[in-house]
Amino acid sequence: MSVTDLEVTEATADAGESGNIGGVYTLVWRTFKENRLAVISLGVLVFFLLFSFVGPYIYPTNQTNGYLAQQVYIHGVSAVNYPWFKSWSFPLGGDNSGYNMVGRLMVGGRTALSVGILAGLISTLVGSAWGAIAGFRGRYTDSVMMRFVDIGLSVPGIFLLIVIVVLFGASSTTITLTLGLTSWFGSARLIRGQTLGLKSREFVSAVRVLGGSGTRIIFKHILPNTIGTMVVIATFAVADSILALAGLGFIGLGIPLPNTDWGSMLQNATIYAPDGYWWDIVPAAVCIILVVMSLNYIGDALRDGFEVRLQKR
């Protein structure tokens, strides 16, 4: 431990009193690297990103027509609905519509990850801006804005999602926007808290004295100083969005066919699970759990990393 402690002190010394950005990230990365689980999680996440977005180019599958019409038989058993590896043409078997399971996972992953990441980003950005403005303006602006957050926090999000999906129809865009715009309330609270602490600091007064506007202070000085919290919030927000999308898919309000997402795949699989095709559940379930767990681990490790930065400063 003493060695790492030394390294950390050195890094701080290198970064100097002003703490240049590069130094800070090196420090965070150093703490992050020590957490073996977090590094593995990062690997898992990168794997799934490559799998979903690059995978279809390396391993193209037919996702337009299912194979039910032209049943593929391997050793006299239908390859479709086959639980484990039988041939390279169906490494994980097929789902009950005859789609190649691996290819289907790629399509589902593309939707799940892009919706999750975009919704997480929207949620983090809106929440942070809202919290920073409320915290910085203070007084009535603050109380009005934060009451709005209270409302957001007391509406069960899934009901709101259902209302919007029913009103405006289910599509990747509506779902992404709704997920993002209904989940930022918690992050607004966190960032507001940090802003309250930051706005009394000297560098903020310095900008004021130099004639910087409030907007400039919020977006150029306060928000960049909350970057650690924002990154951590974003990580968890992406994980939550992926889970929420899966939930929507499960209740049948997910991404409409012919597209799919991991949640809709699970819903599809669970219909046939009682008939003995339980293994159809496994692939999509494993994907969701692995991705969400990795994101949670990464978030935890990043939080530790940024906390160390704060402690050593």
Q: How far is the CB of 208 from another protein (least distance, A)?
A: 34
Given 166, 201, 205, 215, the residue binding another protein (CB under 8 A): 166
Q: How far is the CB of 183 from another protein (least distance, A)?
A: 11
Nearer to another protein (CB atom), residue 67 or residue 185: 185
Question: How far is 291 from 115, CA to CA, in rounded Å?
Answer: 14
Residue 159 lies near another protein (rule: CB under 8 A): yes
Given 266, 298, 301, 302, the residue binding another protein (CB under 8 A): 266
Neighbours of 62 (CB within 10 A): 11
Residue 311 lies near another protein (rule: CB under 8 A): no
Residue 246 lies near another protein (rule: CB under 8 A): yes
Q: How far is the CB of 123 from another protein (least distance, A)?
A: 15
Distant-in-sequence, close-in-space partners of 259: CB < 8 Å, separation ≥ 6: 107, 111, 172
Distant-in-sequence, close-in-space partners of 203: CB < 8 Å, separation ≥ 6: 221
Residue 263 lies near another protein (rule: CB under 8 A): yes
Nearer to another protein (CB atom), residue 80 or residue 266: 266
- Which residues, 272 to 291, sit near another protein by CB under 8 A? 273-274, 278, 281, 285, 288-289
Phi, psi torsion values for 10, nearest 5 degrees: -60, -45
Q: How far is the CB of 35 from another protein (least distance, A)?
A: 13
Which span sits near another protein by CB under 8 A: 92-100, 132-140, 143-151, 214-222? 143-151
Residue 293 lies near another protein (rule: CB under 8 A): yes
Nearer to another protein (CB atom), residue 77 or residue 153: 153
Question: How far is 92 from 112, CA to CA, in rounded Å?
Answer: 20
Q: How far is the CB of 217 from another protein (least distance, A)?
A: 29
- The site map against another protein for 186-225 (x = CB under 8 A) is ----------------------------------------
> Given CA atoms 197, 203, 209, 212 in this order, what sign does their dihedral have?
negative
Residue 240 CA to chain centroid, in angstroms? 7
Residue 144 lies near another protein (rule: CB under 8 A): no
Question: How far is 185 from 151, CA to CA, in rounded Å?
Answer: 9
* Helix, strand, coil tally for the chain in percent (to 5): 75, 5, 20
Looking at beta carbons, which pairs linking 249-253 to residues 24 or more positions away fall under 8 Å?
Answer: 251/162, 253/161, 253/162, 253/165, 253/166, 253/170
Bridge partners for 291 per DSSP: none
For residue 225, with 0-12 CB atoms within 10 Å meaning exposed, 13-18 middle and 19 or more buried, which class applies? middle
Q: Which residues bind another protein (CB under 8 A)?
A: 147-148, 150-151, 153-160, 162-168, 239, 243, 246-247, 250-253, 263, 266, 270, 273-274, 278, 281, 285, 288-289, 292-293, 296-297
